[in-house]
Amino acid sequence: MTPAQRRAWESYRDRWVLDVPRGETSTSVAPGATLDPAALFGRAAPLVVEIGPGMGDSLAPMAAANRHLDVLAFEVFEPAIAALLARLATGDIGNVRIASVDAVDGFAHLLPPDSVHEVWMFFPDPWHKARHHKRRLLSPQFADLVATRLRLGGRWRLATDWPDYAAQIRDVLDRHPEFVNEHPDAESAPRWVDRPVTRFEQRGLDAGRTITDFCYRRVDPSPELDDAHPRSSST
């Protein structure tokens, strides 16, 4: 960490970073560990999970603009968490908590079933070399896991600047029986108005890469769906 990051870590860690029981590795979660979102945030509010917010360039303004939401962030890189803490402190953004754990373990162990209102997954590591594609987080197995935690009607918002990862996202989630693409006839969903252009995203744009957004909604996979959660697309 830089000296400024170290100061932020020491000053604000206890307020925003969760003390999660660890499993065998430093980013795993001990079996049996759980979270009670209402107790964690001290209120009953829609819960959003952001995967990999990095330094918080987008998380901090999105959480500040949506203070009616509670945001739980899964991020494992401690210098990035420290930079995020500084942003949260500057904006006095109290509706965020950070778990320094692997996203798969976080979803599997910490989150109760049907507890999540939205999942945000913006610019995940593309692992752009073909031999590394198997390391990408978005897979049929991870989609199965997210579906168990996302409530019916809940949304999964995603964005990437790598075309082959965009193709993989669409292939996995379009095929999944519990997700429906809200914009199936378009190459990309409209950019979510609350998501700012970050420095990271701008570098992709400057390099000539196209930003692809997606928005999927969790639906009942049974043949007969109720009126509240139809499989047809919506905006």
Contact 1, 82 (CB under 8 A): yes
Catalytic site residue from 19, 36, 105, 125: 125
Q: Give the span between the Cα atoms of 189 and 216, in whole angstroms.
A: 9
Was 199 annotated as part of a binding site?
yes
Contact 110, 20 (CB under 8 A): yes
Contact 142, 216 (CB under 8 A): no
* Tally of CB atoms within 10 A around 74: 23
Was 161 annotated as part of a binding site?
yes
Would you list the DSSP string of 87-109? HHHHHT--SEEEE-S-HHHIIII
Active site residue 125: yes
- DSSP E strand stretches across the chain: 47-51, 70-74, 96-99, 116-122, 150-160, 179-181, 212-218
Was 50 annotated as part of a binding site?
yes
Was 118 annotated as part of a binding site?
no
Was 75 annotated as part of a binding site?
yes
Spell out the residues 6+ positions from residue 119 whose beta carbon is closer than 8 angstroms to its own: 48, 49, 50, 51, 146, 150, 154, 155, 156, 157
Question: Tokens representing 124?
Answer: 């995940």
Was 224 annotated as part of a binding site?
no
Task: Tell me which residues are annotated as active site.
Answer: 125
- As annotated, the binding site for substrate includes 129, 161, 198-201
- As annotated, the binding site includes 50, 75, 102, 125, 129, 161, 198-201
- As annotated, the binding site for S-adenosyl-L-methionine includes 50, 75, 102, 125
